[in-house]
Amino acid sequence: MTWRAAVLTLFPEMLPGSLGQSLAGKALAAGLWSLQVEDIRAAGLGRHRSVDDAPFGGGAGMVMRPDVVDAAIATVADERPLVFLTPRGRPFRQADARRWSTGPGLVLLCGRYEGIDQRVIEARGAEEVSIGDYVLSGGELPALVVLDACVRLLPGVMGAADSAVEESFADGLLEYPHYTRPAEWQGRAVPDVLLSGNHAAIAAWRRARAEETTRARRPDLFAQGIASSAAAP
Ligand code: JD8
């Protein structure tokens, strides 16, 4: 069964973008997943296919009309979750990618301008999700991010080695650092333990580096993971 993605956008040429390359692109070509891109402007009004209007209450910019967006959603809506990418959304997490990748697929709604009239988001029961705390110009790059995270989890898209990496994210730590040949480069040596052949020592070193880096860079993750799995009174 093919995992089915649909993307609703005013910039259909932004898709498949990077998802047409590498393993996701090969999986798309192989039919492991499918991508339907719908131009919201096709549902636009009048001779100019108008999709937006001024915000009630005043303020800068334009807002996408609920009637137009609803008609665009109607062209693809089915049992799949409808996800609206917006800086107002709850944070997108690996757990979402895991859950969505095991379902029938996704319908991703991308806004532009100042955003989309909230009534159609509510009426359609869309889930509002954000990929992070920075300001982008629209929902297309976030849609590519969400799709990349989901598609790489589909059976047959990545090798078996990668599913172990996904497991390791589940333990809530950042990754340990990676090294390859040459063993010395510009006067910099690879850590000795990695050349030792002592697999237990290597595993312990990697675990220690992962914990150290997580504590320093992501105290929020560290508190959720190690702190809560450590022995507590
Ligand atoms: C959708 C329009 C542009 C610019 C108001 C909302 C997600 N993590 C994220 N950052 N930015 C977005 C995002 C931005 C969007 C739209 C997603 C539609 N914009 C901004 C100025 C002020 N709008 C996002 N997910």
Q: What is the dihedral of CA 192, 198, 203, 208, to 10 degrees?
A: -40
Query: Which stretches does DSSP call E strand in the chain?
Result: 3-9, 33-39, 52-53, 63-64, 82-91, 105-110, 127-130, 184-185, 188-189
Q: Identify the pLDDT of residue 159.
A: 80
- Report the residue among 40, 86, 96, 130 best suited for mutation to probe ligand 1: largest number of ligand atoms under 8 A from its CB: 86
**In the chain, how many H helices and how many E strands?**
9, 9
Q: Identify the pLDDT of residue 124.
A: 99
Task: Give the mean pLDDT of 142-165.
Answer: 88
- Closest residue by CA, ligand 1 atom 19: 138
Task: Give the mean pLDDT of 25-46.
Answer: 98
Provide the pLDDT confidence category of residue 171 given band limits of 50, 70 and 90.
confident
Q: Is 33 within 8 Å of 4 (Cβ atoms)?
A: yes
CA of 113 to the centre of ligand 1 (A): 8
CA of 217 to the centre of ligand 1 (A): 26
Q: Is 231 within 8 Å of 178 (Cβ atoms)?
A: no
Render pLDDT for 64-116 as a digit per residue (tens, 0 to 9).
Answer: 999 999 999 999 999 999 999 999 999 999 999 999 999 999 999 999 999 99
Q: Identify the pLDDT of residue 210.
A: 98
Residue 187 pLDDT exceeds 70: yes
Provide the pLDDT confidence category of residue 170 given band limits of 50, 70 and 90.
low
Rg (CA), the chain: 22
Residue 227 pLDDT exceeds 60: no
Determine the atom of ligand 1 nearest the C-alpha atom of 111. Answer: 18
- Closest residue by CA, ligand 1 atom 15: 138
CA of 86 to the centre of ligand 1 (A): 5
Residue 229 pLDDT exceeds 80: no
218: Cβ–Cβ under 8 A, 6 or more apart, which residues? 174
Identity of residue 184: E
